[in-house]
């Protein structure tokens, strides 16, 4: 006979849980069945939503209906709680019921050293044979990712979602307007492609793949923008309220310019750098330093990497062209502090539909944007027709163009800017370890990772293949993110270097400090400074001036 079933009242639970956790009766008025094992999973409220988790939970509960995780109990119920962003979550872990946690902007090494995370080594290393797979979670990680998460031979967390900021483009608009570059020598095959712009096989230089026809270099990108502007349309937009979003994009341009090994030096402070800028004049002419051995003592010199200057110059050209030579954007959006990211998304989506709106070709945003804007897609489709639904509209990720033609073919980086982790609460009760570890393994099967990708249009930091059915069911944008991810090298901005660990908040891609300049005004928000007329050269020199040897020794090496 079943044991007693009791109703869980969300309000009562919420009152009993600290600020770090919010009780969600996963599935609405879900009741606790004491004949089953309960598992509490926490997820941060973010742009990728909860549908992926709810679907995974539904399958986990169904497939384990006859499994005994505890003596005297059969089956499992999984409830969803909300949890905090960032390392403030650490102060709440001992007081919340949440056992498996998905959160963002976390310092993995601090959490391990603080004893907040459960040792998942066995879970990560075991083959997933019980789920029909002959590999482990560990084997699905790249060597560089394993190196980052292997903490003295143990795993205490796993990377979660990989969210990268860049340029989103409206594929339908590009095709209708003929804004692609030709990608072969037969113009008759490209009636909608504008040969006047030129030829491009994309930044990777490979014929016949996902980035053909997109700009390969900065100069091609601005030739494209000029073409768009002259047609009376707006090339690009972003959220004026959050210049930090533009900073995240800027980081991606910097990283792609440097490549994996050069960018990694910014976190390991070890290696030889060949592209440090000695000086750059107002015309952009660069004098390079001799090849330099980078150590913890002179790590400040990495702020002189050419890729960092090139990124600033790329953004400067976007901003300057917007208010001088061409109308690249609507300043009422891009420099309006009342326009948030959802406002910018809404304006972008409506611009290609509503007749009174000037069409916008591209948007600076994160790869999470489409899932975040789901309700806007739904409203627009209800108003204008199903062809404008998320499933039917076509948007794509534009791989970052190169500063020079010589860089074409360099492998692109997919820069994770979320610092998102999956982990088991170090305070978990012994009788819950079995169900928690099984859930973690279940959610890292290829089937679950593929399902996550389909639902969110986002990738997880693992090597897995999308199932044919999931791929076919994905939006065009989801497929574009997946193709970009597959053809790129995942870059996670972490290191075990002691200097990095002491200064995690300074070196994080989310930190304003990495763009800190000694100029006046907005010294960590280049986009705002460029609108005022500050040049990329001045801003770059200001970063080098701020990160002096004296500052490094007093504030970073301290």
Q: How confident is the model at residue 192 (pLDDT cuts 50, 70, 90)?
A: very low
Pick from 368, 335, 354: which is nearest to 481 by CA?
Answer: 368
Share the mean pLDDT of the chain: 90
Task: Residue count of the chain, please give it.
Answer: 558
424 phi, psi to nearest 5 deg: -105, 130
What is the rounded end-to-end Cα distance, in angstroms, of the chain?
A: 65
* Structure token digits, residue 176: 């209708």
291 bridge partner residues: none
Q: Is the pLDDT score of 502 beyond 60?
A: yes
Phi-psi region of 305 (alpha: psi -120 to 50; beta: other; left: phi over 0): beta
- What would you report as the CA-atom Rg of the chain, rounded to the nearest whole angstrom? 25
CA distances from 317 to 221, 421, 537 (A): 10, 36, 12
Q: What is the pLDDT of residue 207?
A: 84
* Mean predicted confidence (pLDDT) in 414-424: 91
Q: What is the pLDDT of residue 500?
A: 94
Q: What is the pLDDT of residue 29?
A: 58
CB-count exposure of residue 5 (10 Å: 0-12, 13-18, 19+) = exposed
Q: Is the pLDDT score of 4 beyond 60?
A: no
- H helices of 130-210, where? 143-149, 171-177
Share of the chain above pLDDT 70, in %: 92
pLDDT digits (tens, 9 = 90+) for 343-397: 999 999 999 899 999 999 999 999 999 999 999 999 999 999 999 999 999 999 9
26 phi, psi to nearest 5 deg: -30, 115
Q: Is the pLDDT score of 9 beyond 80?
A: no
- Residue identified by tokens 């509490």 is 40
* Structure token digits, residue 413: 């980086």
* Structure token digits, residue 243: 């210049």
Identify the three-state secondary structure at position 251.
helix
| Residue 258: count of CB within 10 angstroms of its CB | 25
pLDDT digits (tens, 9 = 90+) for 35-58: 999 999 999 988 888 999 999 999
pLDDT digits (tens, 9 = 90+) for 436-479: 999 999 999 999 999 999 999 999 999 998 999 999 999 999 99
Looking at residue 405, the DSSP 8-state letter turns out to be G
Who wins on pLDDT, 283 or 358? 358
């Amino acid at each position: 006979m079943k044991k007693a079933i009791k109703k869980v009242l969300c309000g009562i639970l919420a009152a009993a849980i600290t600020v770090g956790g919010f009780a969600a009766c996963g599935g609405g008025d879900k009741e606790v069945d004491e004949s089953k094992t309960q598992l509490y999973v926490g997820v941060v409220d973010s742009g990728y939503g909860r549908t992926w988790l709810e679907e995974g939970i539904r399958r986990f509960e169904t497939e384990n209906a006859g499994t005994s995780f505890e003596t005297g109990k059969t089956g499992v119920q999984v409830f969803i709680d909300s949890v905090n962003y960032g390392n403030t979550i650490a102060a709440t872990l001992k007081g919340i019921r949440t056992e498996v946690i998905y959160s963002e902007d976390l310092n993995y090494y601090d959490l391990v050293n603080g004893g907040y995370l459960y040792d998942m080594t066995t879970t990560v290393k075991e083959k997933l044979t019980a789920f029909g797979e002959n590999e482990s979670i560990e084997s699905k990680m790249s060597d560089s990712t394993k190196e980052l998460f292997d903490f003295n031979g143990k795993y205490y967390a796993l990377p979660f979602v990989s969210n990268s900021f860049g340029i989103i483009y409206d594929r339908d608009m590009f095709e209708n307007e003929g804004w692609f570059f030709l990608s072969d020598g037969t113009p008759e095959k490209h009636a909608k492609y504008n040969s006047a712009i030129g030829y491009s096989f994309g930044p990777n230089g490979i014929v016949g793949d996902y980035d053909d026809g997109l700009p390969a270099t900065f100069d091609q990108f601005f030739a494209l923008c000029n073409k768009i502007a002259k047609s009376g349309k707006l090339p690009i937009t972003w959220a004026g309220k959050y210049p930090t979003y533009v900073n995240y994009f800027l980081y991606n341009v910097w990283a792609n310019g440097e490549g994996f090994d050069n960018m990694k030096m910014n976190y390991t402070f070890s290696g030889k750098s060949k592209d440090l800028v000695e000086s750059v004049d107002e015309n952009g002419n660069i004098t390079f330093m001799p090849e330099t051995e980078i150590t913890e003592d002179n790590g400040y010199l990495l702020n002189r990497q050419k890729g960092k200057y090139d990124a600033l110059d790329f953004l400067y050209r976007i901003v300057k062209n917007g208010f001088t030579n061409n109308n690249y954007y609507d300043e009422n959006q891009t420099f309006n502090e009342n326009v948030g990211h959802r406002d910018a998304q809404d304006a972008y989506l409506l611009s290609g539909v509503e007749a009174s709106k000037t069409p916008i070709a591209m948007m600076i945003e994160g790869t999470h944007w489409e899932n975040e804007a789901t309700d806007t897609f739904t409203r627009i489709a209800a108003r204008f027709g199903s062809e404008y639904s998320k499933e039917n509209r076509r948007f794509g990720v534009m791989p970052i163009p190169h500063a020079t033609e010589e860089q074409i073919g360099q492998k692109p980086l997919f820069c994770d800017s979320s610092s998102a982790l999956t982990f088991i609460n170090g305070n978990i009760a012994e009788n819950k370890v079995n169900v928690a570890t099984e859930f973690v393994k279940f959610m890292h099967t290829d089937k679950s990772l593929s399902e996550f990708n389909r639902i969110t249009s986002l990738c997880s930091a693992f090597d897995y293949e999308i199932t044919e059915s999931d791929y076919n069911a994905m939006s065009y944008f989801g497929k574009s993110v997946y193709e970009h991810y597959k053809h790129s090298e995942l870059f996670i901005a972490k290191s075990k270097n002691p200097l990095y660990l002491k200064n995690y908040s300074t070196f994080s891609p989310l930190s304003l400090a990495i763009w800190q300049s000694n100029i006046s005004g907005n010294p960590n928000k280049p986009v705002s400074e460029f609108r005022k007329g500050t040049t990329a050269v001045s801003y770059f020199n200001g970063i080098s001036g701020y990160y002096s040897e004296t500052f490094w020794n007093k504030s970073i090496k301290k």
